A and B are shown apart, each in its own frame.
Chain A
Amino acid sequence: MGKNRALMPSVSLKSILFGSLILLSPIASQAASPTLDKIKSSGAVTMGVRESSIPMSYTTGDSRFDGYHVEICRMILGDIKDKLGMSTLRINYQPVTSQNRVPLVQNGTVDIECGTTTNNTARGKDVSFAYTLYVEEVRIAVKANSNIKTIEDLNGKRVASTTGTTSVQLIRKNQKAKDIKFEEVYGKDHADSFLLLETGRADAFVMDGSILAGNIANAKNPKDYKIVGEPLSVEPIAIMVRKEDPEFKAAVDDAITKIVKNGNMPKLWNKWFLSPIPPKNIIVGLELSPATKNAWAHLNDKPAEDYIAK
């Protein structure tokens, strides 16, 4: 008996140890986020940015980058730096394009992409998206003296959009659904599409509202243009991170929750969309949409497909 008694605690201690190991192991492996480890060991992080997506993410010259999403990302990274107990964190900016942004996040060149990427299910197979902080509405820009008011008015007109964007497919769908016919013209980038509208080679430019507003703000005479019609589609634009690192995504989402809770979002919106922004001190002039307001109130990472059902 005495022997047994002496054995029993040792066995139970072993089992406790073993059990706690099993319990601990998933936590341990989850905590081993490759991105967070890399940030901690190298003291640096790579942020993917866009060259000319005013005001979301763009260069202000001299390889400096700024914008609504870029500033939010800097706040997120600041929060992560504090969480990791680091004194300094160097941010490297890596310009990305529509074509290479997903591969660069997948292969680890870019740790966090802060541009204008639509969160959709197709991309969701390759990458993860943080909570949406900006909901884009695809709109129609026309000359101020144009009599185009709705998508139906585009019948028989020339409609510009930018090659390599989802808007091109969207206007095709609308032609089919509304049973209208118009000539599609394509610009090689947004500035080019806007030039098509400016030179009269297109009667309308269909694109994300923020891009239209940015281009109009940058035009020689912004009063010559207006944005009309109901939104043709609603898409969540989100910060993109690696898919295989849920721990890092959780850290980013936590930081976003904190930023929103602290009431920073209306200030950020005002700064980037309604006030003069560098480098040319233009005002984008895009009012806060109910859809974006809703995204702040109910933080989520739903893909664009879930917005259509709504």
Chain B
Amino acid sequence: MALDFGIFCKNTLDGGVVDHCFSSIFGLASNSDPSYLDWLVTAWGWTLLVSGLGLVIAIVLGILMGALRTLPDTKVTYRWLLWLSTCWVELFRNIPIIVQVFLWYYVIPAFIPPLKSVPSFWLVSIALGFFTSARIAEQVRAGIGSISSGQRAAATALGLTTLQTYRYVILPIALRIVIPPLTSESMNLIKNSSVAFAVSVPELTLFAMQAQEETSHGIEVYLAVTVLYALSAFFVNLMMTLIEKRSRIPGVVSMSPNAKLAH
């Protein structure tokens, strides 16, 4: 079977040849119509933007909710926070991601009209972030659970408040422990970002579906998109490995003596 990657150098209006494959986004050819390659790169940018925003939301909320789930039930406020975080995890973990995306896009704005003017990529990022945060929260909870109870007791004996105990003793260790599952979760988030096409974010999956129809070269289009998804996920893997190596405290966390790429 012959593959023809020349389609990426055709313009997106009538499939004509363009002066330069990157004809519009890098300004290499002045005043030219965009090519499919331009569109592919722009689509990749949307995928990275949605995943990046989603990841920030997911990590911040995931750590917060995960930590709340391990609070001691000694005070009424703590019990409320425990209940809240448990609800959060069960709610966002038990609804399929595409349904959550539709809820954020169509249903919630019907009740909160100002949300209608929020761009769809923000809504998708929120949906992806909340969904992933529930999963990260469980990993953080497991990480905290794996620390020996002596640490918490020692912190209390030193006179640290609960907040200080988490900030200076528990979380620094727990977060180092959960880096490997966190890597998988971050890579999953990039792959899950493909649901954004359903609410009109012009990302890689939408590009693939549309460009294969226009060019009749589905195999080439999907190959290119596959490579970009794999590259993005691999880059996240690489970054997380780097973070794991750089943040390692000798003798404290000995789960992976040589942080390797494959987690």
Question: In the complex, what distance in Å separates the CA atom of A77 from the CA atom of B33?
Answer: 46
Q: Report the minimum CB–CB distance from A45 to chain B (whole Å).
A: 27
Is A176's CB under 8 angstroms from B33's CB? Answer: yes
Residues of B contacting A168 with CB < 8 Å?
210, 214
Residues of B contacting A199 with CB < 8 Å?
106, 109-110
**Assuming the A-B contacts A99-B212, A172-B12, A172-B13, are A186 and B106 also in contact, with contact meaning beta carbons closer than 8 angstroms in the complex?**
no
**Assuming the A-B contacts A188-B197, A199-B110, A201-B116, are A173 and B14 also in contact, with contact meaning beta carbons closer than 8 angstroms in the complex?**
yes
- The interface on chain A, measured as residues whose beta carbon lies within 8 A of the other chain's beta carbons, has a size of 27
Residues of A contacting B212 with CB < 8 Å?
99, 164
When each residue 83-125 of chain A gets 1 if its CB lies under 8 Å from chain B and 0 otherwise, what string results?
A: 0000000000000001100100000000000000000001100
What is the predominant secondary structure among interface residues of chain A facing chain B?
mixed
Question: In the complex, what distance in Å separates the CA atom of A184 from the CA atom of B12?
Answer: 14
Question: In the complex, what distance in Å separates the CA atom of A199 from the CA atom of B106?
Answer: 7
187-202 of chain A: CB within 8 A of chain B: 187-188, 192, 195-196, 199-201
Is A164's CB under 8 angstroms from B13's CB? Answer: no
Say if the beta carbon of A147 comes within 8 Å of chain B: no
Q: Report the minimum CB–CB distance from A193 to chain B (whole Å).
A: 9
Say if the beta carbon of A185 comes within 8 Å of chain B: yes
Question: In the complex, what distance in Å separates the CA atom of A67 from the CA atom of B18?
Answer: 42
Say if the beta carbon of B218 comes within 8 Å of chain A: yes
Range class of the B interface residue count: 20 to 34
Say if the beta carbon of B62 comes within 8 Å of chain A: no
Question: In the complex, what distance in Å separates the CA atom of A166 from the CA atom of B210?
Answer: 8
Is A98's CB under 8 angstroms from B198's CB? Answer: no
**Assuming the A-B contacts A169-B214, A199-B106, are A163 and B13 also in contact, with contact meaning beta carbons closer than 8 angstroms in the complex?**
no
Is A195's CB under 8 angstroms from B218's CB? Answer: no
Is B198's CB under 8 angstroms from A164's CB? Answer: no
B109, B197, B200, B212 pick with most chain A CB within 10 angstroms: B200
Say if the beta carbon of B73 comes within 8 Å of chain A: no
169-220 of chain A: CB within 8 A of chain B: 169, 172-173, 176, 184-188, 192, 195-196, 199-201
Q: Report the minimum CB–CB distance from B224 to chain A (whole Å).
A: 17
Say if the beta carbon of A275 comes within 8 Å of chain B: no
Is B216's CB under 8 angstroms from A163's CB? Answer: no
Q: Report the minimum CB–CB distance from B208 to chain A (whole Å).
A: 9
Is A169's CB under 8 angstroms from B216's CB? Answer: no
Is A165's CB under 8 angstroms from B116's CB? Answer: no
Question: In the complex, what distance in Å separates the CA atom of A187 from the CA atom of B197?
Answer: 8
Say if the beta carbon of B209 comes within 8 Å of chain A: yes
Q: Which of B200, B214, B218 is within 8 Å of A187, CB to CB?
A: B200
Q: Which of B12, B110, B200, B206 is within 8 Å of A169, CB to CB?
A: B12
Residues of A contacting B106 with CB < 8 Å?
195, 199
When each residue 157-190 of chain B gets 1 if its CB lies under 8 Å from chain A and 0 otherwise, what string results?
A: 0000000000000000000000000000000000
A99, A185, A188 pick with most chain B CB within 10 angstroms: A188
**Assuming the A-B contacts A169-B214, A186-B202, are A163 and B197 also in contact, with contact meaning beta carbons closer than 8 angstroms in the complex?**
yes
Question: In the complex, what distance in Å separates the CA atom of A1 from the CA atom of B105?
Answer: 100
Is B14's CB under 8 angstroms from A98's CB? Answer: no
Q: Report the minimum CB–CB distance from B2 to chain A (whole Å).
A: 13
Question: In the complex, what distance in Å separates the CA atom of A5 from the CA atom of B186?
Answer: 95
Residues of A contacting B14 with CB < 8 Å?
173
Q: Report the minimum CB–CB distance from A59 to chain B (whole Å).
A: 22
Q: Report the minimum CB–CB distance from A307 to chain B (whole Å).
A: 15
Q: Which of B116, B202, B210 is within 8 Å of A200, CB to CB?
A: B116
Residues of A contacting B200 with CB < 8 Å?
160, 185-187, 196, 201
Q: Report the minimum CB–CB distance from A123 to chain B (whole Å).
A: 7
Q: What are 13 A-B contacts defined by CB distance under 8 Å?
A: A102-B216, A122-B216, A123-B216, A163-B197, A164-B213, A165-B213, A169-B214, A173-B14, A176-B13, A176-B33, A186-B202, A187-B200, A188-B198
Give residues in A with beta carbon < 8 Å to B.
98-99, 102, 122-123, 126, 160, 163-166, 168-169, 172-173, 176, 184-188, 192, 195-196, 199-201
Since A166-B214, A186-B200, A188-B197 are in contact, a sample of 13 more A-B pairs with Cβ atoms closer than 8 Å, ordered by chain A residue number, is: A98-B213, A99-B209, A126-B216, A163-B206, A163-B210, A164-B213, A176-B13, A185-B120, A185-B200, A186-B202, A186-B206, A199-B110, A201-B200
